[in-house]
Every structure is written in C-alpha cells, then in structure tokens.
Structure 1
C-alpha cells in the first residue's frame, strides 16, 4: 500500500478473514473444505494458523469446543456449504448447551444465487439460530471483520456457546477493503452488589443445613479457586453436576458429597433434600433439571455471570449476578466462622466417604469377566493423575465414571450432560491435546459411541496426538437398554454386532490393545497408557448391575 493511512485492499475477502482470525489469536482451524469455502482454506496456508482437516464436520465443532472449554477462547470450525453446514449442527448445539465457546464459519452460495434452487443452497443462518448464541450471514465484504469480531464476543462472553457465520462464496472470493479489528480486552464483570451479598451472608449465618450446588461455570479455574477459599472458611457441604468435575479440591473432600445428575439417588441429592439453604454457583438447569433436586423447601440463591433461567422448580430468592470469583470472595469475607455440620449432613458425608474407601480397597477384587464397571473405574483412577486430561462420552459408563471417579483439578474432566451427545470423547480429546501437547489425554466411550466418531482416529494418528482411547465393550446401546427395560420390561433397537477394536486401531496406524481376562486389566491399561501417540484399548464390560444405578445404590450391595 502507498499510503499507510489508506484502507488496504485485499485480493480476496478470505485473506482479510484469515487476517482477522490471526489478530484474534486463533491457533487452529478444524474443518473440511469445499468449493464454496476453499479460498479460505487457501488463504490459511499463508498464515500461522494450523489447519486440522477432520473426517466429519460435527467432529470439527467438538474439537473446537474442547479448545473453547479449556482456554476460554473460542475454537474455530470451518466447513463448506449445504451438508457441510448441516453436519455441523449437532456439534454446535452441543457446544452451546455445554457452555463451550465455538465460532463456526460456513460456506454459502453466491449472494446472487441465494434465492435460487441451486447446488447446496440452504438457509443455514435460520438452521443455526436456535442452537447458537449468534448466527448471521456476511452480506458485504466491508462487514467481514465486524461480523467475525462480534461472533467471538458472543461466543466467549458470559456463559460460552456457539456462534455461526455464513460466508457467501463471492464475499470470500472477491476483493475487499478493510483492516482487521484489534481484539479488545475481555469485558470484565464486577462482583454482585454488596447489599445482595450481605443478604446471602445473612442466609448462611442462619442456616442449619446449607448446601452448595456447583455447575459448569464453577469449574473455571478462577471460580474453582474462589470456591476452595469459600470452603476453607465456611465448611459448607458441597455437591456438583457432572460438568463441574474437578471444581472441589482434595483438601475439601470431607465436605464433598460427590456429583449428581440423571437419576435422583446420590448423596448430593440427599443433602439437597434436607437443605434449608441451597446456593447454586455457575449452574444452569440444562445440567440437571431442578425438579430432580429442588423440593422447594429451601431458600434458593443463584450465583452466576447471568440471571437465572426461570423454571417452576428454579425460582431463586436472591440472585448474585456478576463475576463469580469476585462475588464469592466478597461473600467469603463476610463469613465469620465455619459451619457446624448437622447430624443429618454429617451422616450423609461420612457414608459417602466410606463408599469411596470401599471402592478403593475392594474394587480390584471384582474378578468376573466381562468386567464389572466399578473394577474398570477403579483401574482408571490409578492412571488418571492430576497431569492427565479425561474426556468422557455418553453411555452407561459415563454414569459410573461421573459418580465414582474423582478429580481435583478444574476442567480436568470434560463430560457432557446437556445434549448428552454420543461420539464427543475422541474429538474432544484431540482438541484438548492440541491445547496442551505436554499432557496425556485419556478419552472414554462405549463401543456404540466410539463408532460415531471413530474416523477421527486417523486425525489423531496424523497429528501424532498422545491420546489413549478406552472403549467399554458390550455390543449394545446399554444406557438406553436399561431405561427401556425399566419402562417396558424389554428392549428395542439397542443391540449391534462385534468389532475387533484392536485390529481396527491397527488399521488406522494406532496402537491397539484388548483386555482378555480380569487379571490383565491393570497391566494392559498401564501398557496402553505408556504408549506414545494414539492408542486404543478395548475392555469387555458386564452391565448386569446397571439397574442399581436407577435405585438407591450403595456400594456394599456390590463390593
């Protein structure tokens, strides 16, 4: 350019788009090219951004979601028009429900063709609007940077979620003038008003059986640290949804009643039923519906970055809306002395800790083959140390893991309970590994869920990702099966055939392992864990005790 004050002209809109992504600090773009969007892929070659070609568009969104959840900065998916976009919908719905910031860029036909019945013409903005926080089409090249900047702001601010941008082919192919918009500092919230915090401090001072219920936003690192400071001073009993795994530190385990979700029968549920004060922190009803845990007899406090989503069973008496960690620290400062546990709360917590000890001591003695879920959880606990990230798919195993596998690092575990989407674990693991290649990532699925995204094993091999994927094998959609059996006393549409997963892994170039007897479980897991690069281990599981998950399960019924 001759004059530095002149607005530069870019040969292609795609070049300005990529420059904007670079300015926003994007490191990876996950996607699949096509004719309507291939100029963006071409422009990416001249940038510092790494292109990660995937094998299905939904998995691009899952990988981007892992980046978003673990960094707080939106991951990016890039797909072509028509089915490229429609394949992305499940991934974006999952990201929005789970609070994961993702920006999806979808190709579209030329603007002149948008009202015609032409190849891959589709109203993708209307399709994405219900499952994202922000969905627009760029209608003028000069608006490219504005739209992209706003998409990132919507995806990242408050409770995260998906944002979608439709990019007509002529917008990305034709010349455009403009400058990348420099990123602004994140919008910082202050603490909730002092008067409201004072009110909640009064509730705590008068309560006999207060309980903290932690949700997804509680597991953000700064919020988790503030919760730990609150627990140190208050000794208030605490439970969490599956998505808040790792928010509570090991030093506060005496007050932790475990995780709750899906079925109302856990120690945390019992605490909530007898509570006179319930304080939710970073919680959304999509994580565990309020009717399952809120009897309406307790004073209810909502602490979050946004006002409560009102539900007939979720009508807070007081809302502390603002920066969660700052609000909690102000609340902590107003607590004068630790809570003296009621006998009811103390008994629930003591029983929970006895069950954990029972599993630790006795779990390895479950010697039947195929293996009991608790035997596998017990073996997994030994390999999931604080340096390992764990991603968990959807299925019966997800309940056993959520209830009985412990984590004490914020966001160490990625687990779904919003859309309960199958197939997320492996693509999540790839995204998590790219965020921090120094950490081993373990992902877990059933044989049903694995085959919904198993094509990404090739992506993991191509990237040399240090990932171990564990498959619980039972040749059925067993989480569905146990619910059908309870409702109808028979099952329908849940059984499928066997796969040689060890051979399957080898066909992709990954290391394959299979557990062939109970006594080989631990040594096989350790060998697979020690493998550098992608590895897969198949473990036959016996789900005969699954019906107990739906009742008042106490581990001495099994161990």
Structure 2
C-alpha cells in the first residue's frame, strides 16, 4: 500500500511551525485520518499533544488553557462528527469570549461533494459560533489564513473568541511555496490598542468622583488589570462585586469587597462602573428595576462589553488597565464624594454574613435521608486546600454551593452559557497550565457524567487534578422545580453511582465517602495521590434535599422577564409603573 508522505515543506508542517512560533506548546486533540498529517508534524515540532476522549473536551481544555495563560488555546479535531462534537465547546468559548483556535481537516479536494467519508461543510456549522471560519483549499494561502484567524481570536480589532480553520487532507500534504512563508506572518509585531479618549476619561472621572455610592463590577476584560483595579478601589473608596469571569482579581480581604451583599448594593449604588463586563442575565441586564436610577460608566476593550443593554454616561473603548491608569491620573488630587459610612456598612455586613456562612457550613445538618449536606464537603475542602488552589466549579446545584462557599484566587466555571460538564476537562487543562499549584474540580454528579472519561486522559498524561463529585443521585435543581411547580418528578432522578469505582477502573485514585467525619482523611489521601503524580477522585454522597441559592431563586423555571424570580417581579412592577 502506498501512503502519501508528509514532508517538511508541507502545509501540515507549516501549521506546526506557525503554532510553535506563536508560543503554542500544547494542543488538545483527538486523532483522525483527516488531520493525521497535522498531528504528526505537531509531534515533530515538539508540540505536546494532549489526546482526549471526546472532541468537546478538547475544546473545553483549550478554552481553560486560554483563560488561565492569557494566550491562545488550540484544539485539533477530525472531520465530520469530530467537528460536530466540538461545537458545544465552540459555543461555550463563543459566549465566554475565549481565544481558541480549532483546527480540522476535510476529505481530499477530488472527493468533495461525492459522498466521501465525513464530507461536510464545517464552516456552515461553526460560523455563528466563531469570529472567523475558513476552509483553506490553496496551500500558499494557509499561512495568511492562520495569521488572520489568530488575530481575530485574540480580539485584535474586534471581540475575542473562538476561530476555526480546516484544510483538505491533500492540501495538508501539499508543498507550500517558500516565497509566501513571510517572517512577519510567523512573528508579527505586537498589536497595539489606541489609548483612551481623554475627553471620555474626563467624563468618567466626573461621574465617578461625584458618586456617593459607587459600585465597580469586573468581568473578562479586567483580568489583566488587577493592580489598577485595586488602585481605583483604594482611591475612590468604591465597593466591588466580582463575577465568575474575574473572580480572585481583588483579594477577599480588600475593604471594597461586598460579595455577600450583592442584591443590596445593586439596588443602592448611584453609579456603576462595569470593567470588561457585559450586562447579561447574571447582572439583570442592567435593568433600572434592579439598579434603580444608577448611572453607568462602561470600560472595555471590545464593543460587546461596552454598550450592551445599558449605555454609559461615560464609555471608554480601551485596554482596561490603561483606562484605569488614565482615570487615576486625570483625577489627580480630587477628593471623591463617596459616602464612606455607606461603604463601610456594606463591608461590615458582608464580613458578618461571610463569617456566619463559614460557621454554618461546617455544622450543616444532614438531610432526612441521613446523607451529609453539600456544605460539609465545601467546609472540608476549604480547611484542607491551600489558598492559591485553582478552583473549577461545575454543575447546577453543587456549583451554587461551591460558588458561594469556596474562595479562589483563580476560578473557572461553566460561564454565562451554563455549559455544565466542563469541570474535568477544565481541571486537566488547569493542572497542566499551572504546575506546582493544587487544582480542584468541585462538580455535581450529573455534570461529572458528561466528560467522566477524561479521567482516562488525566491518568495517561499523569495530570495531578483532584475531582470531588458531590453525588446526590439527581439533577437536583430540576427535581425541586418539578416538585414545587408541577407536583411530579419526571426523568430527573439519577442513581447514586459509584464514581470512585470508575476512577479506579481508569487508573486514578478513587474513594467513596459517605460520612462527613471521614472527609479530612480522604482528602489527605487524595492529595497524596496527586503528589505521586496522577489524578484523584472523591465520590462524596450528599443529600438531594439541600436547597442551594440557585434552586431557591427561580432560575430553573425560567421567568419571563428576568432570570431570577425576585428580579422578574421587580421588572414587572417597574414596567407597569412606567
């Protein structure tokens, strides 16, 4: 049998050299014939391939890698079902605005549209989920397509997010002319962003420094502006709310942090500064029904985070860190009008609520079924893990407990798409991206099931990630909604499956824990397994009777106007009054 060769001057080799020149040291992938030339050339260039069990997980891992490193995440998936499997990952990266490059292949050009194996128009599928999608059929055009794709992924000139490039397999094997391999396409100059408009800076200063009750809310765009954000909070005396997109940016000890008073501060603020954050469903779309008569100041490096749902009294399209530095410089010695008594009172209430939560978590009573409360799991993890642990929270009900109870300097969760099942893939990528740090995946049993086989990936690549499954044998939020709204439970019960046995079968450390008093020792053994160079899983049986804050909020039954029942009622009253 004659097998086509893949030479060092092929398009596949060019892809590998391009990625290496752009600093890519690992690619998350699942093999297939249509991408094998690229696969082998990546290996030849010394780029590590993290081979996964499902293409969806490959894109999730690339997503988490991008979020944690601030660089480009790359996934390689095969044609047809490889691409369709990857689409959920693309959708999540699309909503999260994560810079992910997905590479694929197609049948040889001579076989297109003839019923070839896995012959599909991938770009038609993925175009709505990507910033750029192109099939490259001419070898000499590949390098410029890759350059444009990466620029779009990183948000150079637009909103960051996922991009897609596929190449027919005969093109991957074809020679690329040396004449088109221009150095600037491998190593372009750093992209520059225009500085903030000085008139807009002054408007923002006037609004913020005249506010009596200023609130700052950060998001994705603030991730590289932590020191500048803290400096603004210190100077302005504003209170602060993080979101899942930027959690850990401001230390919990900072006097501006008032996360436990989220509902009250959103109602009381007279000026709200959003820093690289959309006003999506998690922030009530910025509605006056929730934020009252507050004015907004919007700062972002892309338009999608600048004027969605509410326009600002001042708007700055600029790098957030640079914009904050400009604000502080323009304010000079001007004294802010912030009501320090108001801010201190909110902080005092936040601390009191947080302290009470800690006390109640550790003593949370078991359910009527005798199974432990999920907060006992959270409390034990808080006690055992270092403060710099990377926390990945996943699920519906258990995510709500973890989001409230687990502090984190570095945090990932399913994001605004609500894409449960990301936990184990995110955790694998996090442990690879953050060597030397503990990585915890705190997940519900339902969400764990989506990508449970990625434990196999963690074992094969000796990834030291701790997965803790809160096993309540149900889709708990939906069970509660069905009971309260419909009076009947249909298709939302699971079994109390032995996930620890699955972990052991795949070669990981696995333990099942059914008593709260056994948790500390089990966690210690799991951490020891991580130190030995592999993953560990704790399958912790918890009661399905515990109601999380999300279960109580009305989120599951999807109100008409707002995502939460209280906000929905406020929105209805506001619209009626208007």
Please indicate, yes or no, whether the TM-score normalized by the shorter chain is above 0.5. yes
Q: How do 1:6-85 and structure 2 match up within 5 A? A: 10-85=8-83
Contact 2:439 2:465 (C-alpha < 8 Å) held by counterparts: yes
Residues 138 and 286 from structure 1, CA distance in 2 versus in 1: closer, same or farther, beyond 3 angstroms? Answer: farther
Find the aligned partners of 1:489 and 1:233 in 2 and give their Cα distance: 53
Residues 94 and 515 from structure 1, CA distance in 2 versus in 1: closer, same or farther, beyond 3 angstroms? Answer: same
Residue 392 of structure 2 corresponds to 391
Counterpart selection for 1:480 from 464, 478, 481:
478
Unpaired stretches in structure 2, ≥5 consecutive residues: 1-6, 555-578
Q: CA deviation at 1:466?
A: 1.0
Residues 287 and 531 from structure 1, CA distance in 2 versus in 1: closer, same or farther, beyond 3 angstroms? Answer: farther
Q: State the SS of the aligned residue for 1:45.
A: helix
Q: CA deviation at 1:403?
A: 2.1
Q: State the SS of the aligned residue for 1:513.
A: strand
**Do structure 1's residue 419 and structure 2's residue 448 form an aligned pair?**
no
Q: State the SS of the aligned residue for 1:255.
A: coil
Q: CA deviation at 1:332?
A: 2.4
Q: CA deviation at 1:146?
A: 0.9
Residues 540 and 294 from structure 1, CA distance in 2 versus in 1: closer, same or farther, beyond 3 angstroms? Answer: farther
Residues 484 and 347 from structure 1, CA distance in 2 versus in 1: closer, same or farther, beyond 3 angstroms? Answer: farther
Contact 2:244 2:411 (C-alpha < 8 Å) held by counterparts: no
Residue 4 of structure 1 corresponds to none
Residues 271 and 543 from structure 1, CA distance in 2 versus in 1: closer, same or farther, beyond 3 angstroms? Answer: farther
Q: CA deviation at 1:274?
A: 1.7
Q: CA deviation at 1:322?
A: 0.3
Q: CA deviation at 1:548?
A: 5.0
Residues 313 and 538 from structure 1, CA distance in 2 versus in 1: closer, same or farther, beyond 3 angstroms? Answer: same
Q: CA deviation at 1:300?
A: 1.0
Residue 332 of structure 1 corresponds to 328
Q: State the SS of the aligned residue for 2:258.
A: strand
Find the aligned partners of 2:131 and 2:66 in 1 and give their Cα distance: 14
Q: State the SS of the aligned residue for 1:514.
A: strand
Q: CA deviation at 1:498?
A: 2.6
Residue 170 of structure 2 corresponds to 170
Segment of structure 1 superposing worse, 236-245 or 110-119: 110-119
Residues 529 and 287 from structure 1, CA distance in 2 versus in 1: closer, same or farther, beyond 3 angstroms? Answer: farther
**Do structure 1's residue 298 and structure 2's residue 299 form an aligned pair?**
no
Q: CA deviation at 1:78?
A: 0.8
Residue 317 of structure 2 corresponds to 321
**Do structure 1's residue 274 and structure 2's residue 246 form an aligned pair?**
no
Count of matched residue pairs: 532
Residues 153 and 552 from structure 1, CA distance in 2 versus in 1: closer, same or farther, beyond 3 angstroms? Answer: closer
Structure 1 residues 429-479: Cα deviation after superposition (integer angstroms, max 9, x where no partner): 111122132222111211111111011101101111111001010111123
Residue 148 of structure 1 corresponds to 146
Q: State the SS of the aligned residue for 1:52.
A: strand
Residue 216 of structure 2 corresponds to 212
Contact 2:204 2:313 (C-alpha < 8 Å) held by counterparts: no
Counterpart selection for 2:241 from 218, 239, 242:
239
Q: CA deviation at 1:320?
A: 1.0
Contact 1:241 1:287 (C-alpha < 8 Å) held by counterparts: no
Residue 382 of structure 2 corresponds to 381
Segment of structure 1 superposing worse, 457-466 or 103-112: 103-112
Find the aligned partners of 2:245 and 2:37 in 1 and give their Cα distance: 38
Q: State the SS of the aligned residue for 1:498.
A: coil
Q: How do 1:124-523 and structure 2 match up within 5 A? A: 124-157=122-155, 159-178=159-178, 179=181, 181-218=185-222, 220=223, 222-252=224-254, 254-258=255-259, 267-286=261-280, 288-291=282-285, 294-295=288-289, 297-308=293-304, 313-333=309-329, 334=331, 336-337=334-335, 340-341=338-339, 345-368=343-366, 369-407=370-408, 409=409, 412-523=410-521
Contact 2:99 2:160 (C-alpha < 8 Å) held by counterparts: yes
Contact 2:238 2:343 (C-alpha < 8 Å) held by counterparts: no
Find the aligned partners of 2:220 and 2:430 in 1 and give their Cα distance: 17
Find the aligned partners of 2:551 and 2:498 in 1 and give their Cα distance: 31
Q: State the SS of the aligned residue for 1:285.
A: coil
Q: How do 1:519-558 and structure 2 match up within 5 A? A: 519-532=517-530, 533-546=534-547, 549=550
Segment of structure 1 superposing worse, 178-187 or 389-398: 178-187
Segment of structure 1 superposing worse, 330-339 or 190-199: 330-339
Contact 2:34 2:106 (C-alpha < 8 Å) held by counterparts: yes
Q: CA deviation at 1:114?
A: 2.7
Contact 1:96 1:131 (C-alpha < 8 Å) held by counterparts: yes
Contact 1:213 1:241 (C-alpha < 8 Å) held by counterparts: yes
Find the aligned partners of 1:378 and 1:328 in 2 and give their Cα distance: 36
Residues 79 and 313 from structure 1, CA distance in 2 versus in 1: closer, same or farther, beyond 3 angstroms? Answer: closer
What TM-score comes out, normalization by structure 1 length? 0.90
Structure 1 residues 86-136: Cα deviation after superposition (integer angstroms, max 9, x where no partner): 111001111121122110001112223333332211110011111111111
Contact 1:384 1:390 (C-alpha < 8 Å) held by counterparts: no
Unpaired stretches in structure 1, ≥5 consecutive residues: 1-8, 259-265, 554-559
Residues 49 and 134 from structure 1, CA distance in 2 versus in 1: closer, same or farther, beyond 3 angstroms? Answer: same
Find the aligned partners of 2:299 and 2:47 in 1 and give their Cα distance: 37
Find the aligned partners of 1:283 and 1:488 in 2 and give their Cα distance: 36
Residues 233 and 480 from structure 1, CA distance in 2 versus in 1: closer, same or farther, beyond 3 angstroms? Answer: same
What TM-score comes out, normalization by structure 2 length? 0.87
Q: CA deviation at 1:52?
A: 1.4
Residues 510 and 187 from structure 1, CA distance in 2 versus in 1: closer, same or farther, beyond 3 angstroms? Answer: same
Contact 1:381 1:405 (C-alpha < 8 Å) held by counterparts: yes
